[in-house]
Structure 1
Amino acid sequence: MKVLKYLQLPFFFNAGVMLREVEILADLHWRPHYQVKHYEGEWSAIPLRSIDGKSDNIIISPSNDKEYGDTEFLERSPYFTNILHNFKCELQAVRLLKLNAGSSIKEHRDADLNYEKGEVRFHIPVITHSEVEFILDNERLYLKEGECWYMNFNLHHHINNKSSIDRIHLVIDAAVNDWVIDLFNDADCPIKKEIEDTSRKFNVATTNQIIQNLLEMNTETSIKMANDLAKGL
């Protein structure tokens, strides 16, 4: 089975206009990222959509029962609002994320944050540099200002800002729906890469070994458990 590793969408946005709106918000509203173990240096956010629309909340909840709403910062940002209107799907957290010059995000993965699991994250660079290293599953990606990308963040990734400028992205989290499915199958997408789902291979192999161990126990309960596991493969 193949999974989507990354995809450049057939959208392009005006980085200059985005940067002007960032500058209006930037003086007062950058908040340090709460995942302090995941980075070195400075990594911060401005929430444009957050849980309950709170402008002081940059925390993302994996729970589906959380209600996201526009913050006052989005209401002050007509171009960002216009950008979001292009995404005909349920929008969750939307943030401006800044990785300061000389800072880095350590290698990690965001479990189940991928298209196949029903959640997508789009990155739109506002300001970036050729010396920003964005590494996804051991492959360096080159994201240019104004482009829009989906990446499978269930894979290991890390970022090193080796440049002299602060890198800023607009980051959009959304739920997969028919619009997203059609978009991801659009032949006009400039760049698309799929890879084998090695995690599933590992899970299948592990499950088969568990089934074999249960069958060797040869009890009524273990045989039933083995049969139940086999049905899930």
Structure 2
Amino acid sequence: MSQPSRYLKLPFSFDLERLRAELTRLEASQWISHFNTSAYENNWLCLPLRAVDGRIDHIMPVNEGQFQDTVLLQDCPYMREVIDFFQCEKTSIRLMSLEAGGIIKEHRDDATSLEDGITRLHIPINTTPDVLFRIDGEEVHFSAGDTWYLNASCLHAVRNPGTQARVHLMLDCVSNAWLENVFLEAGWVARPKSKYPDSSINDDNVLVVIEQLRASGHSAGIRIADELDAIRLAG
């Protein structure tokens, strides 16, 4: 049986010359250091093109506010064309720059997969073949101008040993039927659906979870424990 897709190259490529021309116009903008400073070495910078309330100082990918395009996108008609090509709602859209010699340490971004509802796409603008993702132990190069899916809930890291910054256009898309059809045609293998209501619960840990819920003594916890036990016994 094929393993669920941790990454996937989609059949869409874009004009690097036009993307790089617009990136050059944005280079003087106020790039923001990534908020998780313990997760990287050297500079890992972000430039928000779509953010909560359209704020150019806001790079958090998830928030309770309303996502809107920032003013930076107004001067980037081709990037806008690329973004609009994908027939789905978008939340956060950022340019992500990893400085030459930079390292993004292994980490997970929870609930960022097609199955979880947020599909994270990367379109590399500036990169070299020696820039590698490490995804659940496998090293992969995301080629320039192409469209790549990363299941960011997998353990992943990035290393840029080159002499120039690696810059990706990164789109967080709301999963829908259009995306799922594109992925299936590209050879995507879905993650098996969890039989438990919480995807973090599985047959290996369900008994521990049930025991903890019952030990809490709360009626709601005991009720959930009983429901989990019934699902477990039903197989």
> Which TM-score bucket, shorter chain as reference?
0.7 to 0.9
Letter in 2 for 1:142: H
Contact 1:7 1:193 in 2 (8 A): no
Secondary structure, aligned partner of 1:184:
helix
Partner of 2:14: 13
Question: How much does 1:192 deviate?
Answer: 4.5
Partner of 1:228, secondary structure, is helix
8 Å CA contact 1:109–1:154 kept in 2: the answer is yes
Equivalent residues in 2 for 1:28-107, closer than 5 Å: 28-61=29-62, 63=63, 65-107=64-106
Once residues 87 and 28 of structure 2 are traced to their aligned partners in structure 1, the CA distance between those partners, rounded to angstroms, is 31
Which residue does 2:127 correspond to in 1?
Answer: 128
For 1:149-228, what aligned pairs fall within 5 Å after superposition?
149-186=148-185, 189=186, 192=188, 203-211=202-210, 226-228=225-227
Relative to structure 1, the CA distance from residue 210 to residue 99 in structure 2 (aligned partners, 3 Å threshold; closer, same or farther) is closer
Do the aligned partners of residues 18 and 209 (structure 1) sit closer, same or farther apart at CA in structure 2, a change above 3 Å counting?
A: same
Shift of the 207–82 alpha-carbon distance from structure 1 to 2, 3 Å rule, reads same
Is the 8 Å Cα contact of residues 6 and 193 (structure 1) preserved in structure 2? no
- Do the aligned partners of residues 70 and 223 (structure 1) sit closer, same or farther apart at CA in structure 2, a change above 3 Å counting? closer
1:214-233 residue CA offsets vs partner (Å, 9 max, x unmatched):
99x9xxx8986653112455
TM-score, normalised to structure 1, is: 0.85
Q: Is the 8 A contact 2:9 2:148 kept in 1?
A: yes
Gaps of 5+ in 1: none
SS in 2 for 1:174: strand
The answer to whether the Cα contact below 8 Å between 1:108 and 1:158 also exists between their aligned partners in 2 is: yes
Q: 3-12 or 138-147: which moved more?
A: 3-12
Q: Structure 1 residues 100 and 226 mapped into 2: Cα distance closer, same or farther (>3 Å)?
A: closer
Higher relative contact order (CA 8 A, sep 6+): 1
SS in 2 for 1:204: coil
Cα displacement string for residues 117-172 of structure 1 (whole angstroms, at most 9, x for unaligned residues): 11110000001011212111101112111000111110100111101111000000
Contact 2:126 2:168 in 1 (8 A): yes
How far does the alpha carbon of each residue in 1:161-215 deviate from its partner, in whole angstroms, 9 at most, with x for none?
10111100000001111111111112xx2x6566779996973211045558999
CA distance in 1, matches of 2:176, 2:7: 18
Q: Which whole-Å deviations, capped at 9, do the CAs of 1:75-102 have from their partners, x for residues lacking one?
A: 1100000001111111011010000101
Q: What number of residue pairs does the alignment pair up? A: 225
- Give the TM-score of the pair, scaled to structure 2: 0.85
Distance 1:32 1:45 in 2: 6
> Could you tell me the percent identity over the aligned residues?
31
Kindly tell me: are residues 157 and 197 of structure 1, through their superposed partners in 2, closer, same or farther at Cα, counting changes over 3 Å?
A: farther
Shift of 1:33: 1.3
Residues 195 and 118 of structure 1, relative CA distance in 2, 3 Å threshold: closer
Residue 21 of structure 1 aligns with an amino acid whose one-letter code is E
Deviation string for 1:103-124 (max 9, x for gaps)?
A: 1111100112111111110000
Could you tell me how far apart the structure 1 residues matched to 2:5 and 2:156 are?
15
1:22 aligns with 2:23: yes
RMSD of aligned residue pairs (Cα, Å): 2.9
